[in-house]
Amino acid sequence: MEALAISLIKAVPFLGAVPVWAVALVLMVAVAAVVLAFALTFEGVGSLVLRKVAGDIQVRIGPNRVGPNGVLQFLADGVKLILKEDLTPASADRPLFKMAPYFVFVGSFAGFVVVPFGVGLIAADLNIGVYYVMAVSSLVVIGILLAGWSSNNKWALLGGMRGAAQIISYEIPVGLALIPAVMIAGSLSLQDIVRSQGGLWGIFGWNLFHNPFTFFSFFLYFTAAQAETNQTPFDLPEAESELVSGYNVEYSGIRFGYFFLAEFGDMFVVAALTTALFLGGWNIPFFHAETLPWIWGNLLSLGVFLGKAFTIVLIMMWVRWTLPRIRVDQLMRLSWKYLIPLTFFNLLGVSLWLLVFNGKGIPAMIASLFG
């Protein structure tokens, strides 16, 4: 951010007398506001699309009253949640009860900071981007457990304990499934990982097609991430048929809304990581977006990235309304007896592939045969 501030001072003459730290601070606030606006917009529209997809799959209409064909339903829901009374149970631990939704929301929103939306569209290109996302997403566990414990409600407590056990268990296969893409790029920076999948190979330059183990890793990550974000068929922490609504059962008003904003934010972060690490990110097949003028290159790459990410989000919604919820014992067994051993085996396979073939993927090996 400091380098960007210096460039801005050089480009705008009247900023010459302004300290660099002040310009950098203003830029940080502006970038945070833009990222927050995008996150809130996506989370609102995502709730509408989720219900529309549910309606289509269940052969019903879905939201259709507010605005043309119900497209403004998410605004009505937001206003309703803001205007509703914010109740706190008399027997609840008030400080923890009020604090919990903010942990969940911040843990979800903070992940947007390192999402590489385009060639130069990233709030913070951290050299530990993948590690950062894994770290900040852990705040969600704290929020869910606090919500369940502080509500002084047995259903909320069961939901919070389920959520903590589930998220912590599935963080292991999620992390192990992401390591192959990191190994291929040789960097934890999401922008570096995206650039390593560029070139004129088209979709075959993506990590998804680098070798058989990365192809397998994509499906392992998607399955584990679906569970880590509490998406059906892994929504045991909420499980309406068993726990009424789980850890958020005692919440109302905007605090209740924070949990669902975080849920849709988590969906996008998962889709963005899938796109960046396995599907080429903002790279355009058979074309270098970085060769275009800055504004056109960023707009085009932004459209490509969002198109891929939104497709993954729609697939997550499709799965959500297609598969039935599994049992708690099946959920934990899937992680500890199947996904974790498979991700370890897959990581070993990728390591051996990169060692034996000197880091080359299948497309590069085929090209060398005909070159």
Residues 63-74 have pLDDT tens digits of 888 888 888 888
**Residue 295 and residue 214 in one domain:** yes
Residues 286 and 191 in one domain: yes
Residues 303 and 208 in one domain: yes
Domain that holds residue 31: 1-83
Q: Are residues 66 and 91 in the same domain?
A: no
Interatomic CA distance for residues 203 and 43, integer angstroms: 29
In this structure, the answer to whether residues 240 and 296 fall within a common structural domain is: yes
Ramachandran angles phi, psi of 284, nearest 5°: -100, 125
Proportion of the chain above pLDDT 90, given as a percent = 17
Count how many domains the chain has: 2
Where among 83, 117, 142 does a domain terminate?
83
The answer on 187 and 252 residing in a single domain is yes
3 state DSSP class of 61: coil
End-to-end CA distance of the chain: 43
- Token pair of 135 as six digits: 């770290």
222 falls in which pLDDT band (50, 70, 90)?
very high
Contact yes or no for 63/86 (Cβ under 8 A): no
CA atoms of 99 and 137, how far apart (whole Å): 16
User: Within this chain, do residues 145 and 63 fall inside the same structural domain, yes or no?
Assistant: no
Same domain, yes or no: 265 and 163? yes
Residue 17 pLDDT: 67
Asked whether residue 24 carries a pLDDT value surpassing 80, the answer given is no
- Name the helix (H) or strand (E) containing 315: helix 294-320
Query: pTM of whole model > 0.75?
Result: yes
Question: Do residues 209 and 221 both lie within one domain?
Answer: yes
Q: Are residue 55 and residue 110 in the same domain, yes or no?
A: no
Segment 284-306, tens digit of pLDDT = 877 777 777 778 888 888 889 99
Q: Are residues 177 and 314 in the same domain?
A: yes
Instruction: Check whether residue 188 and residue 260 sit in a common domain.
Output: yes
The rounded distance, in Å, linking the Cα atoms of 140 and 106 is: 8
Q: Which of 162, 97, 108 lies closest to 329 in space, CA to CA?
A: 162
Pick the closest to residue 43 from 310, 262, 235, 252 (CA basis): 262
